[in-house]
A and B are shown apart, each in its own frame.
Chain A
Amino acid sequence: ILNVEQSPQSLHVQEGDSTNFTCSFPSSNFYALHWYRWETAKSPEALFVMTLNGDEKKKGRISATLNTKEGYSYLYIKGSQPEDSATYLCAFNDYKLSFGAGTTVTVRA
């Protein structure tokens, strides 16, 4: 089982503030890094699939960067809104997806 670590485990953000959190993964044998957003009582939904070192992807106020050589990815939320409250999962793919435990973001109004 691959060691995919996410930190912090949880964080609280004031509405309007920006935040970021980390996914660490093995730097060898890299194929792809996935980010998913998982809201309570719903299914995880894909945010990004990143494949190249230096990749930067953006969807609305959420963006992600990828460093495959050092084995980490950052997810950024700009100007957090209550609807951003969710657990954000990253998953490392060499020949199958291995998920981290997630970062749970709570945005306070």
Chain B
Amino acid sequence: EAQVTQNPRYLITVTGKKLTVTCSQNMNHEYMSWYRQDPGLGLRQIYYSMNVEVTDKGDVPEGYKVSRKEKRNFPLILESPSPNQTSLYFCASSPDKTGFSEAFFGQGTRLTVV
């Protein structure tokens, strides 16, 4: 089954404790991205990757890091989480960056930083 898998689904952590949210897709997609969703706001892009070893900042990259060492995986790293990073996070993939193809989303990770 074609899918994007995120882990964990739920996470409560403390300020300053490094964490990683994993994302993996099995569709051989080139383009992957991370979004955060906050009440009243649309999905906002954090980082994106057009292919292996190619990553770039989205609209709200501060406080986040990513890597793309393999085509299927695109982890999101919070080196020193803060309460303002409490949010719902989605990973997404699509065949390419043109936007002519739909994006496939993971199940979401609800992160709470206390």
Contacts and interface: CB of A to CB of B under 8 A. Distances in A.
Interface of A: 1, 4, 31-32, 34, 36, 42-46, 49, 51, 89, 91, 93-102
A98 B40 CA distance: 15
Contacts of A34: 99, 102-103
Range of interface residues on chain B? 20 to 34
Interface in B72-114: 90, 97-108
Given A1-B59, A42-B107, A43-B106, A93 B99 contact: yes
A96 B100 contact: no
B98 A31 contact: yes
Question: Interface of chain B, helix or strand or loop or mixed?
Answer: loop
Contact of B102 (A1, A42, A46): A46
Given A1-B59, A44-B90, A49-B101, A98 B106 contact: no
B105 A45 contact: yes
Given A44-B90, A44-B105, A96-B48, A4 B42 contact: yes
Contact of A99 (B42, B48, B98, B100): B42
A97 B107 CA distance: 19
Given A89-B42, A102-B42, A97 B59 contact: no
Identify which of B41, B42, B98, B105 gathers the most chain A CB atoms within 10 Å of its CB.
B42
Contact of A89 (B43, B101, B102): B43
A96 B108 contact: no
